[in-house]
Amino acid sequence: MEAELNFNISPESDGERLDLVFVAATEGVSRSRAQAWIRAGRVEVDGVIQERPGFHVRAHQTVALRVMEVSQKEVRAPERSLELLHEDADILVVCKPAGLLTHGNRVGDPSVSASLQASHGPLPEGSEAERAGIVHRLDRDTSGALVVARTTAALESLQTAFRERKVQKTYEGIVFGTPRFDSDWIEAPLGRHPKHQDRQGVLPKGEGREALTYWEVIERFQDFAHLRLQPKTGRTHQLRVHLASVELPIVGDPLYRGRGGRLACLPEGAPELGRHALHSSELCFAHPTTGEEVSARAPLPLDMERALEWLREERPKS
Tens of pLDDT, residue by residue, the chain (318 residues): 445 678 899 998 899 999 888 888 876 667 767 777 787 778 889 988 888 888 999 999 999 887 554 433 343 444 457 999 999 999 999 999 999 999 887 656 789 998 998 888 888 876 666 688 999 999 999 999 999 999 999 999 999 999 999 999 999 999 999 999 999 999 999 988 877 767 888 898 888 889 999 999 999 999 999 999 999 999 999 999 999 999 999 999 998 988 778 889 999 999 989 899 999 999 999 999 999 999 999 999 999 999 999 999 999 986
Contacts of 28 (CB under 8 A, 6+ apart): none
Residue 28 falls in which region: left (phi positive, over 0), alpha (psi -120 to 50) or beta: left
> What are the backbone dihedrals phi and psi of residue 189, each rounded to the nearest 5 degrees, phi first?
-65, 145
Q: Does 139 participate in catalysis according to the annotation?
A: yes
Phi, psi of 181 (to 5 degrees): -125, 170
CB 1 within 8 A of CB 37: no
Q: CB–CB of 188/283 below 8 Å?
A: no
CA-angle at 176, arms to 170 and 179, nearest 5°: 70
End-to-end Cα distance, the chain? 68
CB 92 within 8 Å of CB 116: yes
Residue 51, pLDDT score: 84
SS3 label, residue 99: coil
Q: What is the dihedral of CA 202, 205, 211, 215, to 10 degrees?
A: 80
Residue 259 confidence (pLDDT): 79
Superfamily of chain region 3-66? RNA-binding S4 domain (3.10.290.10)
Options 14, 109, 139, 182, the catalytic residue: 139
Sign of CA dihedral 100, 104, 109, 112: positive
The class level of CATH for 168-295 reads: alpha beta
Identify the architecture of domain 83-163 in CATH.
Answer: 2-Layer Sandwich (3.30)
Distance CA 43, CA 287 (A): 35
**CB distance 173 to 229 below 8 Å:** yes
Query: What is the C-alpha to C-alpha distance for residues 113 and 148, in angstroms, rounded to an integer?
Result: 8
CATH 3.10.290.10 positions along the chain are 3-66
Q: What was the pLDDT predicted at 28?
A: 62
- Residue 149: what are its φ and ψ, rounded to 5°? -90, 145
Residues of the chain with CATH 3.30.2350.10: 83-163, 168-295
pLDDT at 27: 66
> Which pLDDT score is estimated for 128?
64
